[in-house]
Amino acid sequence: MKQYFGTDGIRGAVGTAPITPDFMLKLGWAAGRVLGGAEGGRVLIGKDTRISGYMFESALEAGLSAAGVDTLLLGPLPTPAVSYLTRTFSAQAGIVISASHNPFQDNGIKFFGPDGKKLDDSLEFEIERLVDQPLATVEAKKLGKARRVNDAIGRYIEFCKSTYTANAGLKGLRIVLDCAHGAGYQVGPAVFRELGAEVITLGDAPDGLNINREVGSTHPEALQAAVREHRADIGIALDGDADRVVMVDHQGKLIDGDQILYIIAIHLHRQERLAGGVVGTLMSNLGLELQLGKHQIPFARANVGDRYVVAEMGRLGWQLGGESSGHVVCGHATGTGDGIVTALQVVAAMRAQQADLQTLASDLSLYPQRLINVPVKRRVALDEQPDIQAAVSAAEETMGDRGRVLLRPSGTEPLIRVMVEADNTDLADLHAESIAKVVQDTLAN
């Protein structure tokens, strides 16, 4: 088990180990040693809009310099932008300072390799090993330098626009775009406006403290109300680092990651551009799998986490995958989860099929899911807890082929996620609440 890395990088409360300036200094040095190569190389650093990003950016820069690695500072920019620019700058690595959808009190670090993809486990283990070693600075003449990349935003805007290949532009489309007061607050509105849409913005005034606060993909209520108020065609909600997206149809109904994945899959399938099938996760709705099957589109499940989705896509040679949360990877357009690019693919499907978002989503019936997050104080192997396993077995036996149970520890927070999916809401609620109570009683102390 890794000591610091979770499902998506390193994350936690600011000021609490390991999310401290001294740890970030060591992390920058260790990452520079592992990823920088024999000649030092260069590493890009981007961040979201949290106030703590300034502090951690400086600490990482110092650590990289001590390892002899040059740093290119991108400023506030979406996580997928760092992935893209890491490739185009031929950098050895990219670092993102972000806690994604978490509140401003949290922060974290994500890494990309030279191919713009998340690091594999072996590299994360090697970085962890070095973090606990004494920091040894290279000789003065080999110290890394740092400079800011002033055109990073413009480069990424043009990339996003290039992924929209529908014949019809966005003229005549009214969009409400919620940027979560996060990293997409500059890029997102520019992309959709430059493609011709009328854009009404929410969550585009970050102050370092308001990221994800009652806005964004985890709080879509304001977006739903705004779509109805402005009689918009669609609503788009990014999260704090803009690597995930959820959408809203013209009546204010939420369209989640599974529905988005389905819409894009059917669009590519009809155009004969869907290479292979679709990769979901253990959390993906059973309805998605069944409906794709009706179109003879293969479906595979990966572990939760977009890097596991990408790895499975690579193993199978497929180009589309994603999570219910809105992390969608459109491999024909980009190599990582990208909220803006994903939304553009959905709009392309709307234009190509001359249909509204509600119509495109109506073909998919999702099974009711109940997800309960149970706070815990310690990590345990769930399969070694007999009371918990007994509760799961009892639920599975009762439901039979009418539902399924998934228990997993969160990779980003001290939680056990209890998910029950069934063919009716009451059944899902009943078993989720029963299992969650057993988990709480067993692991609360």
Region of 334 please: left (phi>0), alpha (psi -120 to 50) or beta.
Answer: beta
List the one residue out of 88, 113, 104, 105 whose CA is nearest residue 96.
Answer: 113
Q: Are 354 and 290 in contact (CB under 8 A)?
A: no
Question: If 0-12 CB within 10 Å is exposed, 13-18 middle and 19+ buried, where does residue 81 land?
Answer: buried
Which residue type does 79 have?
Answer: T
List the one residue out of 444, 376, 381 whose CA is nearest residue 413.
Answer: 376
List the one residue out of 162, 155, 185 whose CA is nearest residue 84.
Answer: 155
Known catalytic residue at 100? yes
Distance separating the N- and C-terminal Cα atoms of the chain: 21
Give CA–CA dist 250/248, Å, rounded: 7
- Of 65, 83, 98, 100, the active-site residue reads 100
Q: Are 363 and 268 in contact (CB under 8 A)?
A: no
- In order of 9, 121, 150, 194, 331, the CA distances from 161 in angstroms are 28, 33, 19, 8, 16
Buried (b) or exposed (e) across 177-191, using 16+ Cβ within 10 A?
bbbbbbbbbbbbbbb
Q: Are 146 and 61 in contact (CB under 8 A)?
A: yes
Q: Which residues carry out catalysis?
A: 100
